[in-house]
Amino acid sequence: MQTLIVIKIGGNVIDDSAALQRFLTSFAGLPGSKLLVHGGGKIATQVAEKLGIPTTMVEGRRITDQPMLDVVTMVYGGLVNKQIVAKLQALTVNAIGMTGADAGTVLAKKRPVKDIDYGMVGDIEEVDSGQIQFFLRQNLTPVFAPITYSLSGDLLNTNADTMASAIAVDMVRHNDVTLLYCFEKKGVLKDPTDDTSVISELTPALYAEYKAAGIINKGMIPKLDNAFNALANGVSKVIICHADEVEMAVSQGAGTTLKLKDDQSGGYHTTS
């Protein structure tokens, strides 16, 4: 079976042009088929401020009303996505910039209102891995912005970590998949202020212990939930690492490697 590396890049790397260039150079050097999912960094917030559109965050998640959806679509699907594609072209990677709406690759539904109304935020329903595999067979490298679409024809803002996990899970139909989450830290840390405190291996049992102790908290929790979901649904390997250590993580296991040792189930409904 062919191998595929799915990488999600986010955090402060998107906002730092030098760090982003280093990452993309490493990404370009990875052999074989690869696919990139990116976040938007702080650029959407900065653009919204210039346009006089307020940004509302609840528990670290953006509330996406219609004006903010317009901003994130322009920034994520336009400015950031096309800048990354252009930089990859300069590195001789034939990249194709996409959102989930393009070629119907990632279908979502608007998140139902419970305790919080997140607005135009999408929860993923289906990934069309057959269509993505078609692009890979054309020697194209898909670069996904975290925007999806609904059957009602709406665009939806979607968490990039979740999007990377969902795509990786569905691509298991066609490939032996490795999923990397890359950002500005060296992995999952016992002490967020100390880059030497990397947890080299993490199992669901250890994850539960670290959460209970407050060692793993805040934004790392949904990232790890997505990562373990991917492992539970057939992804061969999941690594969380520094953006500067992508090649080392793939070849030698830098960062935090997740291992699935207890029984988990669930996942996304997918299409071929």
Q: Give the global pTM.
A: 0.92
- 3-class DSSP state for residue 244? helix
Are 188 and 198 a contacting pair, CB within 8 Å?
yes
Q: Is 123 helix (H, G, I), strand (E, B) or coil?
A: strand
Delineate the domains of the chain, giving CATH numbers in brackets.
2-258 (3.40.1160.10)
Instruction: Assign 269 a pLDDT band (cuts: 50, 70, 90).
Output: very low
pLDDT band per the 50, 70, 90 thresholds, residue 270: very low
- In this prediction, residues 191-207 reach a mean pLDDT of 91
Distance in angstroms (rounded) separating the CA atoms of residues 134 and 265:
29
Q: Is 40 annotated as a binding residue?
A: yes
In a 3-state reduction of DSSP, which class is residue 18? helix
Residue 179's pLDDT band, with cuts at 50, 70 and 90, is: very high
Q: Under DSSP, is residue 86 helix (H, G, I), strand (E, B) or coil?
A: helix
Q: Is the pLDDT of residue 166 over 70?
A: yes
Q: Name the residue with higher pLDDT: 267 or 50.
A: 50
SS3 at position 76: helix
Q: Is 62 annotated as a binding residue?
A: yes
157 is in an annotated binding site: yes
Does 78 appear as a known binding residue? no
pLDDT of 265 strictly over 60: no
**75 vs 40: CA distance, rounded Å:** 7
